Amino acid sequence: MRFTSETSSDGLLEQLFTLGEIPGVLWTPEGATGARPLILMGHGGGQHKKAPGVVARARRFVAECGFAVVAVDVPGHGDRPKDEEYDRIATENQARVDAGEDPAPLIAAFQALVARQTVPEWQAVLDAVQRLEHVGAGPVGYWGVSLGCGLGVPFVAAERRVRAAVLGLGGALVSAEAAGRITVPVEFLLQWDDERVPRAQGLALFDALGAKEKTLHANPGRHGEIPAFELDSTVRFFARHLR
């Protein structure tokens, strides 16, 4: 793990790093020492580790809860090079959708393929970050919606350090089998008028989650329109389960 830059503002320390070929960012309270809960955030499709929604949420987790937050670029996103195989599949899928094919199973298959790479990558990131003195081996939370849900479901299912997860804007086709293996508390966000994920598929993914404590929060609006008050709820959810 190699730190490439470090900046501070408003009590927040931001450290950019690379771990092998994975570019990442770590946020912690300025002057933090000792172990604390850590939240890994997965960004959405076409976004990156420092997308505005990721940064805004990370700021609150750090400022209000004193947590550490880490985010990395998904392959083919942000500071990572284009991935030729993924690009080829994406182009092929687009052509099939243009020809009238249902996009949902294509997206699901694609995300499952990418997850085979991101699950071990994210586990390596946890290993590295938790070795830092100002992060330590505290409980871990996961936050990710849309692509962050598609990649997050297999990650949360596989990674025993994760104690609570916020997921959403994803459908059952993505990962119903992995969802069934998730037993930690989940807050699941669904947009009632999601133009990308059919409502029934979102409800089916919530249904498939194996967790005994899981809450569906559904709000009117399109895919990108999660209301601001849900972030308040997310902060409280993580505070309740990771502290």
Residues of this chain that bind a copy of itself (CB under 8 A): 190, 192, 203, 206-207, 212-220, 227, 229, 232-233, 236, 240
Taking the least distance from each CB to a copy of itself, the nearer of 147 and 205 is 205
| DSSP reduced 3-state for 187 | strand
Min dist CB 191 to a copy of itself, Å, is 11
Stated length of the chain = 243
Joined tokens for residue 134 = 């100002």
Spatial CB neighbours of 142, under 8 Å, sequence gap ≥ 6? 39, 40, 41, 42, 152, 155, 156, 159, 162, 164, 165, 166, 167
Min dist CB 226 to a copy of itself, Å, is 11
Nearest to 178, CA basis, from 148, 157, 207, 162: 157
Which residues, in sequence order, are bridge partners of residue 139? none
Min dist CB 110 to a copy of itself, Å, is 28
Min dist CB 63 to a copy of itself, Å, is 19
